[in-house]
Structures are given as C-alpha cells and as structure tokens.
Amino acid sequence: PARVAGDHEWGMVSAGNVYTCALTTAGAAYCWGRDLGGRLGRGGSASGDVGTPTPVAGGYTFAEIRADWHTCAWTADGMAYCWGDNEHGELGVPADATECESP
C-alpha cells in the first residue's frame, strides 16, 4: 500500500473508477486521480491527472462522500451535492448538462 500524500487526517475514503475522493475528519472534501468530466470537483480547472489530494470547490463541510463515475456527498444537515459525469441525469440535475465540475 502507498500512503496518500499530504498531512491530512482522513475520516472517510471512497474510490471511483479512475479517481478517489476523501473527507478529512473535519469534513473537508479532497479528490485526486483522473479528472474527466469534473469528477474531482475542482470547478473550472483543466482536465488531466492529479496525483495529490486537491480540495473540492465550494468549501462545503460534508458528513459522507461516495465516488464512482460521479461523486456525491452530503452534509450533516442532509443536503446532497453531486458532481462529475451526468450523461444519464445521475447528478439530480437535467441530463442536458452532461457534467458538473463542482458541487
């Protein structure tokens, strides 16, 4: 196994198909790996490979996070946020938006 870069204290990790997202024990979301279709949640950042944990845009504090072809996370008060691939409307927004680059 390889230790994830940085000095963050992780509370939860979820691996997608080509990327990983995690929450710190304080609820800050970070993602790394292949950023296709906004899967890393960096906002308008360029696509490509990111080898170290990178903050998810928006500054939200999340309670849980799940990654696959898209990412969804929710806050302690039950608000859900999703980003990444939306080819089939899986983000909960109209399917004509084929991707969302941040929560």
pLDDT on residue 94: 81
**Whole-model pTM?**
0.92
| Cα 23 → chain centroid | 9
The per-residue pLDDT for 36 is 86
What pLDDT score does 46 carry? 67
Among 54, 45, 1, residue whose Cα is nearest residue 24 = 54
pLDDT score, position 66: 97
CB contact at 8 A, 33 and 84: no
Q: Provide the pLDDT for residue 97.
A: 83
Q: What is the pLDDT of residue 95?
A: 74
> Per-residue confidence of the chain (103 residues) as pLDDT tens digits?
999 999 999 999 999 889 999 999 999 999 999 998 889 999 876 678 999 999 999 999 999 999 998 999 999 999 999 999 898 899 998 878 888 889 8
